[in-house]
């Protein structure tokens, strides 16, 4: 059942809903799981797009409100989603994430914690570093950017090199400096991938003082949709 849903998601989001371009395919791990995919967050489409790029069994947190509709809740659960209470220290969700990674699943997380409406990257929250450190897992940084492209919206996914677990290891979970350093390392790699996408299409990086940069994307430009689902 899971693989059936995953294949449907891949076909719809990478070929029907979006014309997807994947950069640095050589960085996609051959592993079936046991690692984290850390990505910037622009759209509700981000999880299924990532599920279409990486192969394996997935796990990801989704805000608890999305599970109120029983039919929708059943669908996203089939795709690996589990609820998290936003704005609270949901230790149960963190424990579930670590457990899933140890079960050799691919855990998807958005370090910024919320969607960006203008393409700019925010500072990473501590969750990604805490989960990676607790699970003793490597992290694959990813950046996604969207844009209209004729009748079909365009999506570019840049995959970074896997960050070895030793480079983001945390020896003391109460040491905020270690957690911040690991989180920043992951977010810095995502920022480099965003720069790569912008250089590929010869567009400026999203910034506070460049309104056009926040609205310009590959293949025809247009406004960045705050959500696509």
Report the CATH number at residue 202.
Answer: 3.40.1130.10
Residue 228: inside a domain, yes or no? no
Residue 145 in any domain: the answer is: yes
Q: For residues 3 and 56, what is the distance between their CA atoms, to the nearest angstrom? A: 9
In a domain, 42, yes or no: yes
Q: Tell me how far apart the alpha carbons of residues 110 and 42 are, in angstroms, rounded to a whole number.
A: 10
- 151 lies in a domain? yes
Rounded Cα–Cα distance for residues 109 and 98 (Å): 12
Whether residue 223 is contained in a domain is answered as no
User: Using CA atoms, how far apart are residues 108 and 97, in angstroms rounded to an integer?
Assistant: 9
CA distance 163 to 3: 27
pTM: 0.84
Domain hosting residue 53, numbered range? 2-215
Using the 8-state DSSP alphabet, how is residue 66 labeled? Answer: G
229 residues of the chain, pLDDT tens digit each: 667 777 887 888 888 889 899 999 999 998 889 999 999 999 888 988 998 999 889 999 888 888 888 888 887 787 788 888 776 667 888 999 999 999 999 999 999 988 898 899 999 999 999 999 999 999 999 999 998 766 678 999 999 999 999 999 999 999 999 999 999 999 999 999 999 999 999 999 987 444 443 344 443 332 222 233 3
Domain assignment present for residue 220? The answer is no
The pLDDT, as a whole number, for residue 151 is 65
In a domain, 52, yes or no: yes
Place of tokens 């997807």: 20
Q: Is 152 exposed, middle or buried (0-12, 13-18, 19+ CB in 10 A)?
A: middle
Instruction: Give the C-alpha separation, 175 to 63, whole Å.
Output: 27
Q: What's the total number of domains in the chain?
A: 1
227, part of any domain: no
């Amino acid at each position: 059942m899971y693989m059936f849903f995953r294949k449907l998601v891949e076909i719809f989001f990478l070929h029907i809903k979006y014309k997807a371009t994947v950069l640095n395919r050589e960085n996609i791990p051959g592993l079936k799981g046991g690692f984290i995919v850390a990505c910037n967050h622009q759209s509700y489409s981000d999880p299924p797009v990532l599920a279409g790029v990486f192969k394996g069994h997935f796990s990801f947190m989704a805000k608890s409100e999305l599970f109120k509709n029983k039919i929708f809740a059943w669908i996203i659960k089939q795709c690996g989603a589990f609820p998290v209470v936003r704005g609270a220290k949901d230790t149960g969700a963190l424990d579930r994430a670590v457990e899933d990674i140890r079960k050799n699943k691919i855990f998807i997380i958005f370090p910024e914690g919320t969607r960006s409406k203008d393409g700019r990257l925010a500072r990473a929250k501590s969750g990604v570093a805490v989960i990676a450190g607790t699970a003793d897992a490597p992290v694959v940084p990813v950046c996604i950017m969207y844009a209209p492209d004729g009748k079909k919206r365009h999506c570019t996914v840049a995959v970074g090199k896997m960050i070895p677990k030793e480079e983001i290891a945390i020896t003391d979970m109460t040491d905020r400096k270690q957690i911040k350093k690991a989180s920043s390392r992951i977010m810095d790699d995502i920022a480099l991938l965003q720069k790569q996408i912008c250089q590929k299409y010869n567009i400026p990086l999203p910034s506070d003082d460049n309104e056009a940069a926040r609205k310009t994307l590959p293949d025809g430009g247009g406004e960045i949709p705050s959500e696509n689902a």
